[in-house]
Amino acid sequence: MKNIDVKGKIIEKSETREVYSRYGYNVHRVSYAKISDDSGSINLILWNEQIDLISVGNEVHVENGYVSRFRGIDQLNVNK
């Protein structure tokens, strides 16, 4: 699914971990935050500087996001 706009509250945030880029040259930080609204909840994937902008309890608005599936779990991604 593409072009998704979601407003919700951050109810959970994972620890940050480091991952290597596809080609192994760069290290990136990644975390997820669970965003919830009246229709349910989904993991919001956060990269690098995005991680520091989000805290549990924040109300957020994701514009033009997209949903992908990783290891069988749907996740909301933010376009750059």
pLDDT at res. 35: 97
Residue 25 has pLDDT above 90, yes or no: no
What are residue 41's DSSP bridge partners?
Answer: 36
- Which tens digits make up the pLDDT trace of 38-67? 999 999 999 999 999 999 999 999 999 999
Residue 21 has pLDDT above 90, yes or no: no
Cβ count within 10 A of residue 33: 23
Whether 74 and 45 have beta carbons less than 8 Å apart is answered as: no
Q: Mean pLDDT across the chain, nearest whole number?
A: 93
Residue 80 has pLDDT above 80, yes or no: no
Which burial class, exposed, middle or buried, applies to 75 when counting CB atoms under 10 A from its CB (0-12, 13-18, 19+)? middle
